Structure 1
Amino acid sequence: MTTKTTSHQWRFFRSGGFDQVSIETAADLLHLGELNPKLWTVLNCPTTGLEFDERTLALMDNDGDGQIRVPEILSAVSWSCQRLTDASVMFAQPGLPLASISKADAEGEGIYHAAEKVMAYLQIPADQPIQVTDLTNTSQLFSPNHCNGDGVIMPELTSDAALQQCIAEIISTQGGVADRSGGMGVTQDTVTSFWSQLQAVQDWHAAYANEQGLLCPLAENTAAAVAVFEQVQAKIDDYFVRCQLAAFDGRASDNLNPLTSMYDGLANRVIAEQDSDIAALPLSEIAADRALPLVDGINPAWQTQIAALTSSVLQPLLGDDYAELNHADWRKVSAQLAAWRNWQAARPATAVHDLGLDRINELLASDFKAQLEQLIADDLAASTFADNLLALEKLTRYQQNLVTLLRNFVTFSDFYHGDSKAIFQAGTLYLDQRSCELVMRVADPARHASMAPFSGCYLVYCTCVRQGEKPINIVAALTNGDVDELMVPGRNGIFYDRQGRDWRASVTKVVAQPVSIPQAFWSPYRRMAAFIESQVQKFAASRDKDIESKTSSSAASPTAVASSFDIAKFAGIFAAIGLALGALGTALAAVVAGLFSLAWWQIPIVLAAVMLLISTPSMILAYLTLRRRNVGPLLDANGWAVNTRAKINVPFGASLTGVAKLPAGAKRSLSDPYAEKPSPWRLPLLLVFLAGATWLGWWHFFS
């Protein structure tokens, strides 16, 4: 990316170990495109997971890739400056004054007039600025009785009651489309579909009127007769096909009739007339070219349906006295009813049938369709206001939020100055009498933890839950205080988000790093004490288990335990212990003798030197880690592209993690009724130990 030379005098401040540009004036905004990108703190950031207005980020994300990049920042700044009469408005309190909108070009004029309409609709006084919240209630800005450019027509847009009824009928049969005002209306597509369905239903009814004699062989009883016919059509077709197969091959008759073994299953149970096993049998006995009897010899499960067919279909069409049905007559009856059935199958599948034929004819004869299409065209012609309203919202949000984003993108001034939290700081975590201010949301803790340790910070990952909310994951950096015995998975704390809501936080992972030089100094001794304590516990546990097992064994077999005692082995153990104590005493005596060989004032120096020798490696490692401690890897792990090493030195780290302190002027009572009583043996034992060490040293040195 190339940069231009500029005469603008930039001002820089130094925080976090690097120079950051100050963005304080309108001139800084106007010349931001001339600032070398190497001097920018960030090169891109995500549009989600930030304590920042997501709508503003969405308006800035021109390519929709979920990232805000340097060109998009410059584009937003340049566009805002062009749309304002004075770019210094960007640094004012949130709110866009009408007079600050530039009318230098057509886009500016459109935004200005849109702002005028908004102020008129919402009755905002002329001397008050437009706020972002004024533009979020579309039901007030897009009134149902005003064209709003979305191509959706609501009944309120016309005063014609007949046309309003037509719109309501379209919505009821086609479904409504959401209008910008919040109500439901119709569009060109729904109007076209509605009239197309009206015409289809009218044509369908016209076919009935033109072919009524063919379609209705039984006049007004045709529909009921067809319903009875369709109940038995498949079963009668099955019967005649079976008889035709029997005629084709006489050997098929036995197989086409039910096997006698099928009746065995019916012999020992109660049989109902409508039993499914009975209904599955043929209508009658199968024989070659046999007619279907309509009275006797009919499957009992089908007698009612056959009787209904005879009375409502066969007798009216074939004759009053009809006792059996042959295949030719059945085909004749099927053909006579086919026209009605085909007409019914062609019935348009639409809800406009509910309007009735008279209303359908009335609508098709009216000019409502033309009127609605004209209203839709008029509404679409007013789309300029909607477009300008979007631009007005964009400008208002940029005025409120863009400078804040610059102070967290071009610089980290919000993070280092401490007047307000940075947009990547999610809130405050309270844990073990300390508050952590450097807390970030984490979408993928496992992926984040793979890169975050390069920050050099002591990190605590937590899962936060709150009733009625989706759980969130956070990471907190502990940059002050003692952490040697602090964090283990399962510890609980409280997380307060930027809205002041409290979440229950549970520690899930810890990335241990040095926090301070003093902590590193005592770290070896604490590790040694922890090691000794663990070994003592292991030894005591093993001895206790051994004694318990031996006790159980001796209780089970006393004679066996008694006989297994080996006095020689027991003496050997005591000899080994004596040798170890002797060696330890000799070493201790040598150390004490060496100390007594020094002048009295040299002894503290030697002791301090020994302690320093033990702690120096830990202190050196802590020093190197604290020097490279920076926030960059934490952000990079969240999808940022940090362009510098944003350091967290010791003083700044102390401000990011607060430890518990009594309030100024507080009074404290040192009387603790439950304090442990001092042991009377502690001082005598110490004196005995010092006397013994002194004697050993004197004896070793002077003997």
Structure 2
Amino acid sequence: MPQGEQALATIQSQHKWRFFRSGGFDQVALDCAADLQHLHELDPKLWTVLNCPTTGLEFDHRTAALLDSDGDGQIRVPEILAAVRWCCERLQDAELLFQAPGLPLAAIAEQDAEGLNLKAAARKVLDIAGKTPADPLQVEDFADMTLLFSPHHFNGDGVVVSELTTDPELIQLIAEIKQTQGGVLDRSGAEGINSESLEAFYQQATAVVDWHAAGGSADPLFCPLGEKTAEAVVAFEAVKAKVDDFFVRCQLAAFDHRASDALNPAVTLYEVLANKAISSTDPEVAALPLAAVAAGAPLPLEGGMNPAWTSAMTDFKQKVVEPLLGADGKQNISHLTLQQWQHICQQLESWRLWQLAKPDCSVHQLDAERLKAIVSGDGKAGLEALITQDLAASVFADNLDAVEKLVRYQRDLVTLLRNFVSLSDFYQSKHKAIFQAGTLFLDQRSCELVLKVSDMARHATMAPFSGCYLVYCTCERQGEAPLQIVAALTGGDVDELMVPGRNGVFYDREGRDWRAMVTKVVVQPVSIGQAFWSPYKRVAAFIEAQLQKFAASRDKDIEAKTTSGVTSAAAAPAAPASAPTVVAGFDIAKFAGIFAAMGLAVGAIGTALAAVVSGLFSLLWWQIPLVILGLLLLISGPSMLMAFLTLRRRNLGPLLDANGWAVNTRAKINVPFGAALTGLARLPAGAKRSLADPFAEKKRPWGSLVVLLLVLIAAGVFWWFRLN
């Protein structure tokens, strides 16, 4: 043996493991603290499961998330070992993990700084919850984290709320940052700011202040109309594209006189407009040029203008043209030349470029003077100091998370181990396993092996390898999202039970009832007894189907002939007296032939039965039961053999693998255990039962007479063979 394996064997020999046999394989028993302390020594090949998902389980999702340290949605062996090791280190005695939920303060080990911090945080939680140091911590004490943090105290999350300061300037600044950047949720439940929102606010505020400074120049070249420049630019922008269009058309007409007619609207366009009511707001009118196009023509500002643009051009004239081109600002200007238009564009260009450079941010909500005061003040330094103080107070917050984790592990970790390292919760029937979603009641039976299904396609591919009779259901409950489940039927008669569309009731682990509708069935043998009767049931079903087909076909044939005969009789002339005897399509000769054939068939069957009976009675009395038993085995043997082989390989693994588990063994579901997983309807012990049924079918003697007749025939045949 290699040196490493020898060392491993030496270490493992220091702890005596206990195993129990269930499900066809050996499972480790986890019953004491020593088992947990040495769990890392147990060969992973002896673990029942190697990983399981964090969702779809009847297990606390918060605890599962804490165990999933890498956040990949799977709990693996190293994460289990790390959790067990940490609990053994943080507890005075790991036996507490096997006890009732609750973490006493004295149970926390304080041999190092981490332990001291954990104990201090746990003591504070007890104080906030109104408990004494003698009371154990429960998971419910951490249900509302906002109760464990006060907005008036630093809590280590780096979020500053207004309650942390009495400075009115900082309080106002926090409110303004939340107004423009949005609030950040603090551990106390209040909204505040953090370093990211603070930095974003000051960057935007600085950019806006600089932008306002660039536009606040008194230079006439920048603000040619002073305070009215902004209003003038708005009027200018409203008509700029249309004025540019007019002067470009005029330039093209000057370039080539032939272009004038084409650049002006065609007469046909006016003809179209003439045939309907015209409004100055019509898009067709607005699309026309501002005025008649001609080489070097000025733009009229009063008469001869497109009516759709009269209002905008009047506003442009009053706010832009006259103030910029009139000598005293009051001069009436009736036309605008190309040179004048270019001069106006040049004068307003600086202002327009400044407007295009306006920062796109939310701090424009604040007044420019207030922003200037914020940027030049020391509020940022004050808030940064508060954030630094809050981050420095993270000791309690960090240790609070660790205390919560320890309390949850104390309650839940052993439960997970008994569904991961072993499947003792499933096989020992003390508790339901974490993968059992509830109980399905269907057709006078209860199914305990019910799993949630997250991926129907994957599950339908893997699950049939379990060898179980499976019923897939869609469960619905008012106010809840639909739930997909699969139930394994491991007992009872299921020959004519499950068909899509049947309804049942599903009770989840919380006791809530759901309407369950069967959507799919995977047929597998349930028991050897069912397999024994299966061939006879199939033969009976086949005979019944054939009789129904024969009866239906004969009924249809007679109906067709009768209808045809009646129709022919009504349409045809009277038949001569010598015509063959036909009554309403009924052929007597054919009917006689049918009876003759039936007689031959009955005779052949009788001969065959006589041969069988003669051969049977030629045997000794003790040989007759053996022949009958052999005949039964010949008929039922193949079905029973196939059922035996299927039931022998029936196991839980594929059902869990289909849900994302990595099962490390063949977890068998044998017949006795399967019978325990499916409960059948039975009368209570001591119940009285009345057999008087007022609606029972009346007994008729025909069955007894047929049996008596068969006995007499058999006796007669036996007597005849004895005489001969």
Range that drifts further, 84-93 or 218-227: 218-227
TM-aligned CA deviation for residue 20 of structure 1 = 1.7
Say if 2:21 is the partner of 1:27: no
Residue 214 of structure 1 aligns to a residue whose secondary structure is: coil
Could you say if the C-alpha distance between residues 350 and 65 of structure 1 is closer, same or farther in structure 2, counting changes exceeding 3 Å? Answer: closer
Q: Which amino acid aligns with 1:314?
A: V
Contact 2:581/2:587 (<8 A) preserved: no
Match of 1:9? 16
Of the three residues 467, 475, 487, the one matched with 1:456 is 467
**CA distance in structure 1 between the aligned counterparts of 2:460 and 2:482, rounded to whole angstroms:** 18
Aligned pairs (5 A) from 1:360-509: 360-509=371-520
Instruction: Report deviation, 1:569.
Output: 5.8
Q: 1:257 to 1:614 in 2, by over 3 A?
A: same
Q: Give 1:27 deviation, angstroms.
A: 0.6
Q: Is the 8 Å Cα contact of residues 130 and 396 (structure 1) preserved in structure 2?
A: yes
Aligned to 2:86: 79
| Equivalent residue number for residue 533 of structure 1 | 544
Seen in structure 2, the aligned counterparts of structure 1 residues 660 and 565 have a Cα distance that, compared at 3 Å, is closer
Distance 1:148 1:595, change over 3 A: same
**1:278 match:** 285
Deviation at 1:129?
1.6
2:665 maps to which residue? Answer: 644
Structure 1 pair 387–659 and aligned structure 2 pair: CA distance change class (3 A): same
Is 1:654 paired with 2:675? Answer: yes
Between the aligned partners of 2:596 and 2:417, the Cα distance in structure 1 is 77
Matching residue's letter, 1:432: D
Distance change in 2, residues 1:438/1:261 (3 Å): same
- Quote the residue 1:207 is aligned against: 214
* Corresponding residue of 2:159: 152
| 1:682 aligned residue (685, 703, 706) | 703
2:544 aligns to what SS in structure 1?
A: helix
**Superposition deviation, residue 209 in structure 1:** 3.6
Question: 2:143 is matched with which residue?
Answer: 136
**CA pair 334-131 structure 1, distance change in 2 beyond 3 A:** same
- What do the CA deviations read for 1:46-81 (whole angstroms, capped 9, x no partner)? 222211122222222233332222222212111111
Mapped contact 1:592–1:694 kept (Cα < 8 A): no
1:588 is matched with: 609
* Paired residues, number: 703
Q: In structure 2, which of residues 45, 50, 53 is the aligned counterpart of residue 46 of structure 1?
A: 53
Task: Say whether residues 1:610 and 2:617 are aligned partners.
Answer: no
The Cα shift of 1:289 comes to 1.1
Instruction: Write the letter of the residue equivalent to 2:480.
Output: E
Stretch of structure 1 that moved more, 220-229 or 93-102? 220-229
Q: How far has the Cα of 1:651 moved from its partner?
A: 2.1
Provide the rounded CA distance (Å) in 1 between the counterparts of 2:670 and 2:214.
89
Bigger CA drift: 489-498 or 508-517? 508-517
| 8 Å CA contact retained: 1:590, 1:697 | no
Secondary structure of the corresponding residue to residue 12 of structure 2 = coil
Greater displacement, 329-338 / 610-619: 610-619
Deviations 1:458-515 (A, max 9, x none): 2212121222222222111111222222112221111111111111111122222222
Match status 1:328 vs 2:339: yes
1:621 matched to 2:632? The reply is: no
Structure 1 unaligned segments of length 5 or more: list them. Answer: none
Within 1, Cα distance between the matches of 2:268 and 2:240?
28
1:519 paired residue among 530, 541, 547: 530
Q: Which residue in the other structure is 1:236 paired with?
A: 243
Shift of 1:700: 4.8
TM-score (norm 2): 0.92
Listed one character per residue, the Cα deviations across residues 6-65 of structure 1 (whole Å, up to 9, x for unaligned) are: 321212222222222211111110011112223222222222221112222222223333
Q: Secondary structure at the match of 2:135?
A: coil
Larger deviation, residues 423-432 vs 295-304: 295-304
Alpha-carbon contact 1:47-1:54 (below 8 Å) kept: yes
* TM alignment of 1:294-333, pairs within 5 A: 294-319=301-326, 320-333=331-344
> C-alpha separation between the residues in 2 aligned to 1:264 and 1:702?
124
Q: More deviation in 626-635 or 365-374? A: 626-635
SS at match of 1:611: helix
Contact 2:473 2:485 in 1 (8 A): yes
Identify which range, 149-158 or 203-212, moves more after superposition. Answer: 203-212
Q: Tell me, what secondary structure is at the counterpart of 2:189?
A: coil
Paired position in structure 2 for 1:665: 686
**Aligned residues of 2:217 and 2:223 also touching (Cα < 8 A):** no
1:246, CA displacement in angstroms? 0.9
| Partners of 1:181 and 1:542 in 2: CA distance | 80
Match of 2:715 in 1: 694
Aligned to 1:225: 232
Native 8 Å contact 1:589 1:700 kept in 2:
no
Provide the rounded CA distance (Å) in 2 between the counterparts of 1:575 and 1:602: 38
User: Could you tell me how far 1:377 is from its partner in structure 2?
Assistant: 0.9
Give the deviation of 1:658 after TM superposition: 0.6
**Whole-Å separation in 1 of the counterparts to 2:722 and 2:554:** 40
Measure, in 2, the Cα distance between the counterparts of 1:661 and 1:669.
15
What letter is aligned with 1:394?
K
In the alignment, structure 2 segments of 5+ residues that lack a partner are: none
In 2: Cα distance, 1:34 partner to 1:351 partner:
60
Q: Which moved further from structure 2: 213-222 or 361-370? A: 213-222
1:623 counterpart letter in structure 2: F
Q: Please name the residue that 1:120 is paired with.
A: 127
- The answer to whether the 8 Å contact 2:468/2:524 transfers is yes
Aligned residue in 1 for 2:192 = 185
Deviation at 1:565?
Answer: 8.0
**Shift of residue 86 of structure 1?**
1.0
Give the corresponding residue for 1:348: 359
Distance 1:312 1:620 in 2: 102
Post-superposition Cα deviations, 1:355-394, rounded to whole Å, max 9, x if no partner, equal 2233223323432111000001111122233322222222
Question: Aligned-pair distance for 1:421?
Answer: 0.2
For 1:112 and 1:123, how far apart are their aligned partners in 2? 17
Q: Which residue of 2 aligns with 1:251?
A: 258
